[in-house]
Amino acid sequence: MTVPETLSPVQPSAPVRVSGVASTALRGRVRGSGTEAEVLGTSSHAVWLHAGDDVVVVSSGDATRLPNGIQIGAASTEQPFAGIEHGSTAAIGHGRIMLDGLAVEVTRWWDPHPALSPVRPAELLEACRGLPREVPGIEATTLRIGLEARSAGGVLHAARSLLGYGPGLTPEGDDYLAGALAATRILGEALGFERSVALIAGASVPLARLAEARTTAFSAALIRCALRGQVAQPAGALLRALTGRGDVAAGHLALIRVGHTSGPALAAGIALGAYSLLAPHGGN
């Protein structure tokens, strides 16, 4: 009788290690002592992680760089997220993100709050000329009036009808609102319009709570970023161009090519925010 050989236990394979560039908005969480996260969803381009009360996105090198994201060097064609499943756990901390079969080491950082040159109202008006500020199917009047009047209550009223409106992880109404909020804060800083900057700062808490209640967790996280003046890289490039640091037409074209509806809605929201800053009856 032949005695079967004892089988050695199968050892799990070591995770694939890649480097990543992370938004400075995530610095505290990534460098912290450790946070457990849950995978909300995956695609060929990204993994969405629910970490604490926030959403962190790990994306491929050919995806859009997000204000709440970490972009790795591998392209989507390399299928870096193929083994990661919805509902699985991940860990964020000590400078890395540990996923099933993938270890992301953060080696570089980027600032999602674009550094803008000071700009005069007449210069901004000229830079914005011709940019569309409305999106078909989205009612923009209430938001425009609230921003022009520098009214936190008016902006909140508009947000109630925009948040969650439209399909997708980031509904079109959310993207439009995020663009307008970010532009009001960031361009308001470049113009030296303290009242406009204070409007966004003062409305931040109720707007963030409203977003949590009315839209997806991912989209609510992007709204919070917009309120802090943190935007995706193509949106930052357009904002810089509006203050003389780049070509406006090229920046606008690059942004509207992002996603199916997100880019055009973000771009129109940025234009709405810019024009609203220049409204004479609102005061600065």
Q: Where are the domains of the chain?
A: 16-110, 121-277
The pLDDT of residue 4 is above 80:
no
Comparing 2-16, 34-48, 88-102, 261-275, the range with the smallest average pLDDT is: 2-16
* Phi-psi label, residue 136: left if phi above 0, alpha if psi -120 to 50, beta otherwise: beta
Q: What is the dihedral of CA 108, 221, 226, 167, to 10 degrees?
A: 120
pLDDT of the residue at 73: 93
pLDDT of the residue at 281: 56
The pLDDT of residue 6 is above 80:
no
Q: What distance, in Å, lies between the first and last C-alpha atoms of the chain?
A: 93
Rounded to an integer, the average pLDDT of 266-283 is 89
Rounded to an integer, the average pLDDT of 181-193 is 97
Q: How far apart are CA 94 and CA 106, in angstroms?
A: 9
Q: How confident is the model at residue 280 (pLDDT cuts 50, 70, 90)?
A: confident
Q: Any idea what DSSP says for residue 180?
A: H
pLDDT digits (tens, 9 = 90+) for 89-119: 999 999 999 999 999 999 999 999 999 999 9
Average pLDDT of the chain? Answer: 93
pLDDT of the residue at 12: 55
Nearest to 108 by CA among 151, 71, 55, 148: 71
Q: How confident is the model at residue 50 (pLDDT cuts 50, 70, 90)?
A: very high
pLDDT of the residue at 1: 47
* 172 token code pair: 């079109």
Share of the chain above pLDDT 70, in %: 94
The pLDDT of residue 169 is above 90:
no
Alpha-carbon distances of 203 from 55, 117, 127, rounded to whole Å: 21, 25, 27
Rounded to an integer, the average pLDDT of 24-51 is 95
pLDDT of the residue at 168: 74
